[in-house]
A and B are shown apart, each in its own frame.
Chain A
Amino acid sequence: MRPNLGVTIGSINMKNPVTTASGTFGFGQEYGPYVDINRLGAIVVKGTTLEPREGNATPRLVETPSGILNSIGLQNPGADYLIKHYAPYFQTLQTNVIVNISGCTVEEYAELAAKLDGVPGIAGLEVNISCPNVKKGGMAFGGDAATAAEVTKAVKQATGLPVIVKLSPNVTDIAEIASAVEAAGADGLSVINTLLGMAIDVRKRKPVLGNILGGLSGPAVKPVAVRAVWQVYKAVKLPIIGMGGIMTAEDALEFILAGAAAVAVGTANFINPRATLDVLEGIEAYLTENGVEDIKELVGAAHR
């Protein structure tokens, strides 16, 4: 008998727990030649803002030991373009499309969420709360429980779509923020966003990235991400999408055992464009080999 792989995040029914990390999978089409996207439980597409954004200066990416630092700067064509040019494509897919959203004020998040509400082809929103809050002196919304909750509440009020809040690991107590976001009405949590980092070119004696600071991802961050999922699972009842350096099914299972209901493959797509399906097939094989009938039995199993 084939194991049951279905999971639910808010009202999003995923046929399996595998999705993509925003920013690493474009709008899906880019990976069309390599992956049958319809086999995935969901895809989380490129971070979208109300207005188009040009992004940061290059270099935008640099390799570090077992990882990458990126500072793309949310380059995207804006919400109107997404609705007009990508949503019709999303509608043709037999998978859930979750749009990652960013803003620089609470009002901007709410306006964007309202705009995407009811757009055919969009199954849910992932809220990136790592954008610096301009009004509050450049501090990221995700760095503070009160502001994280404020954004969550505003987005929830603006849309009927399920709202998944993507947590930043660059905080002292991620569980505290997770609890605040849960109380504010979130339907799920993505854990984790990238870790703030930087690299310096010793020959030029200058920072490598055009933006100086960047977000670290890839296998280098996996233990930090698993720890974050573990702590968040203990603190909240919300379903968690675990991510951070997942390269293989075994990596994904670590996240599931730590408490993730679903997993997102990010940086791995760059190295192995078929990574999402390899992870999916590996999870299924693991369940079959170990006589696990339902993936849900494994979620958080390492806590028990």
Chain B
Amino acid sequence: MSKVMDAKVMAVFTVAPDTYYMELEAPEIARLAVPGQFVHVRSSDSQDPLLRRPISIHMVSRPKGVLALLFRVVGKGTELLAQKKTGDRVNIMGPLGRGFTLPLPGSRVAVAAGGIGAAPMVFLVQELANMKCQVTVYLGARDKKSLLCDGQFVQMEAEVVIATDDGSMGFKGTVPELMRRHSDWRRTAMTYVCGPKGMMKEISAMLAEADVPGEVSLEENMGCGVGACLSCAVKITHHGQVTNKRVCADGPVFPSWQVVWE
């Protein structure tokens, strides 16, 4: 069951250009959340910006009752959020949406993350590590400075393979190009994907071709966050029929082979 609460900011700092890490005291949400879910965040009490911002859950610490977000400043809402100080209150609603499907304990799995898409994957890999899964992370970013979460993945004993657009770290190229040079993901129980739309589309096609299962975490302009307003529609194929699903309530995570990419 989702909650609405004023969460106290426990920490907030920048980790990369325009990218912020924020810890919020939200024991109930931390207890209920599963990897891939999000919280709907009010960045200010004013009416401009008006809407909440959906932000994926980056990490939870259940013993501490803390929820961590990792977000990029892309507009007025996220800019206001980044200006919060320790001790401030932020109104959040969550956990919302349907998260990733977890594999059997001990499975071999792959994670493909690009840019800020790495944010929800830390929570996922945390859970996978607890399940003694063998994880390979294909991690991409524009450049070395913008690369996110690589240290965290290593700490959780995942194998991390890196690609940057400019080659300033790891392979020079995109995450799908990086994956083409590796074969591990072809033998996994699941490949979890989060990143720019183009990247997710390309990897979904690769997964389909290799006939291996995958899940993608989608994004769309969102209103209510609870499945009422039907703003965040996405086309999904189910039993041969294309229907609208709601990113907020039916997703954000969908089977990679079911998404109809535009």
Contact = CB atoms under 8 A, between A and B. Distances in A.
Interface of A: 23-26, 30-31, 33-34, 46, 54-55, 58-63, 65-68, 70, 72, 75, 218-219, 247, 267, 269-274
Contact of A59 (B50, B221, B226): B221
Given A54-B244, A59-B220, A270 B229 contact: yes
Contacts of B176: none
Contact of B4 (A23, A59, A60, A274): A274
B51 interface: yes
A75 B223 CA distance: 15
Contacts of B244: 54-55, 75
Interface residues on B, range: 20 to 34
Interface stretch (B41-49, B104-112, B147-155): B41-49
A226 to B, nearest CB: 16
A33 B1 contact: yes
Nearest to B49: A63
Contacts of A67: 50
Given A66-B50, A270-B52, A61 B2 contact: no
B48 A26 contact: no
8 contacts: A31-B228, A34-B4, A58-B221, A59-B220, A61-B222, A68-B51, A219-B50, A271-B52
Given A58-B233, A60-B231, A271 B51 contact: yes
Nearest 7 Cβ contacts at the A-B interface: A26-B228, A61-B231, A30-B228, A66-B47, A270-B224, A59-B221, A219-B47
Nearest to A23: B229
B48 A66 contact: yes
Contact of A75 (B227, B233, B249): B233
Main secondary structure of the interface of B (DSSP, over half): loop
A257 B220 CA distance: 39
Contacts, number: 95
A269 B224 contact: yes
Given A58-B220, A63-B49, A273-B226, 13 more contacts: A24-B228, A30-B224, A30-B227, A54-B244, A55-B244, A58-B232, A59-B220, A60-B232, A68-B51, A68-B223, A75-B244, A270-B223, A271-B52
B230 interface: yes
B47 A247 contact: yes
B247 to A, nearest CB: 9
Given A30-B249, A218-B47, A24 B4 contact: no
B225 interface: yes
B49 A60 contact: no
B47 A63 contact: no
B50 A271 contact: yes
B139 interface: no
Contacts of A33: 1-2, 226
Contacts of B223: 61, 68, 70, 270
A210 to B, nearest CB: 10
B67 interface: no
